[in-house]
Amino acid sequence: MPTPLMREVLRPLYATAPEAHPGLLIQRGYALYDQDSDKGRKAKTAHIQKICAIPASPFYHHAYQRWQSATADQLRFRQLELALESRLFIGLTGGGMLETGCAISHSYGMPYIPGSSVKGVVRAHARDSLFGHEHTEIINELFGVDADPDKGHPQGLSGLVTFHDAWWVPGSADHPLVEEIVTTHHLDYYGNEGQTPATDFDSPVPNSQIAAQGRFLFVLEGPRGTPGWLDLAEKMLIAALSTRGIGAKTRTGYGLFDTKPRAPTRLTCTWVDTTIAALMQKNRASETDTLRGKALATAWSELTDAALKAEALADIQARWEVNGWWDEPPGKAAKQARSVYDDG
């Protein structure tokens, strides 16, 4: 008899909640169905689509702003904002009943890349390269080494550079999570560990998965006053993520990042985040449409605090410029909004 993942009295609350923690929905919020039935497959797809429709909350925006501010000291930290070339599968096997998952921040409900995963990928890439074979001691200094008396490290060695968790960048995509269809072409072959031959007559089985999209903020931390180590770690990080990738299914193109890091997005204005969230709920509009819409511009024009108004405009303009809207507003509503901003 299957074990329920949640109490029956809680199921209606999950079904009617206007927004929820994606991690809870992945682990606990799925109704129990026969996965092989048509009803079960449709229910799973609908549940994944519900999870992927959850936007970043103002709570996460504020947390991201605090983290960005706390790691802004360039003598100690190095911030890199890297964009995914496609999608990212990270924490795919932690999906509970869904049989698909994603690494979700326990506190904030947004996808992230664990720092241990980042460090592991960069270290493996460095060791597999010619650089790693020729300069083992540098690799050990940078990443650390396990205790090994035979190699001169009886107590181990702590790495000079710390690889922190990578945070999803708010506003880098309409939604941080996205449904991705992975088609299994030889279900019996994989299900029986290769004992059933794979043939061209096998029926493909589409399978919904949860992936991340957009950009991530990577943070490296090193000893104060030694920028050379951070420079080296930054080059290794970019090389590893752009050629090797991170997460699952990297051989098929997932988890690869652009080679050119962007300047980290400036600190956001709390008023802009709060107003966008309120307008999204009121008008049932997406974050993108709200950001470039006239309603936000009208609310901004009604501000009486000159300092807040200037701060909000700088933030809105920065977000528009990231998407290429400021010089060429897309659509009638965006053109009207830009006119409001220009009139002040």
Q: How far apart are CA 290 and CA 279, in angstroms?
A: 7
Judge whether 223 lies within some domain.
yes
Q: How far apart are CA 252 and CA 178, in angstroms?
A: 17
Q: Which residues pair with 158 in a beta bridge?
A: 144
If asked whether residues 213 and 302 sit together in one domain, one would say no
Tokens at 83, concatenated: 């964009």
pLDDT at 308: 83
Q: Give the 3-state secondary structure of residue 82.
A: strand
- Output the average pLDDT for the chain: 82
Better-predicted residue by pLDDT, 8 or 216: 216
Q: How many domains does the chain have?
A: 2
Judge whether 258 lies within some domain.
no
Judge whether 1 lies within some domain.
no
Q: How far apart are CA 93 and CA 112, in angstroms?
A: 15
Asked which of 37-41, 134-138, 167-171, 213-217 is least confident by mean pLDDT, the reply is: 37-41
Using CB atoms within 10 Å of the CB of residue 297, give its burial: 0 to 12 exposed, 13 to 18 middle, 19+ buried. Answer: buried
Q: What residue spans of 53-168 are helical by DSSP H?
A: 58-70, 115-128, 130-134, 136-143
Of 190, 222, 252, the domain-final residue: 252
pLDDT at 252: 87
Q: What is the mean pLDDT of residues 290-312?
A: 89
Q: What residue spans of 222-291 are helical by DSSP H?
A: 227-243, 270-283, 287-291
Segment 223-254, tens digit of pLDDT = 887 788 898 899 999 999 999 999 999 988 89
Better-predicted residue by pLDDT, 36 or 136: 136
Counting every residue written for the chain, the total comes to: 344
Confidence at 4, pLDDT banded by 50, 70, 90: low
Q: What is the mean pLDDT of residues 11-23?
A: 72
Of 252, 286, 320, the domain-final residue: 252
Examine the pLDDT at 297 and tell me if it is beyond 70: yes
Judge whether 152 lies within some domain.
no
Better-predicted residue by pLDDT, 340 or 152: 340
Q: Which of 323, 253, 331, 334 is closest to 292 using CA atoms?
A: 334
Max CA-CA distance within the chain? 72
If asked whether residues 241 and 169 sit together in one domain, one would say yes
Judge whether 17 lies within some domain.
yes
Judge whether 135 lies within some domain.
no
Examine the pLDDT at 207 and tell me if it is beyond 70: yes
pLDDT at 184: 67
Of 223, 252, 281, the domain-final residue: 252
Could you write out the DSSP letters of every residue in 29-45?
A: ------TTSHHHHHHHH
pLDDT at 177: 93
Q: What is the mean pLDDT of residues 72-93?
A: 89
If asked whether residues 227 and 323 sit together in one domain, one would say no
Range of the domain at 85: 8-118+162-252
Q: Which residues pair with 113 in a beta bridge?
A: 166
If asked whether residues 65 and 198 sit together in one domain, one would say yes
Examine the pLDDT at 29 and tell me if it is beyond 70: no
**What's the chain's Rg over C-alpha atoms?**
23
Judge whether 149 lies within some domain.
no
Confidence at 151, pLDDT banded by 50, 70, 90: low
pLDDT at 313: 85
Q: Do residues 59 and 108 lie in contact, with contact meaning Cβ atoms separated by under 8 Å? A: yes
Q: What is the mean pLDDT of residues 88-109?
A: 82
Asked which of 30-34, 90-94, 110-114, 307-311 is least confident by mean pLDDT, the reply is: 30-34
Q: Residue 210: in which H helix or E strand, if any?
A: strand 205-212
Q: Give the 3-state secondary structure of residue 100.
A: coil
- The b-or-e profile of 34-59 (16+ CB within 10 A means b, else e) is eeeeeeebebbeebbebbbebbbbbe
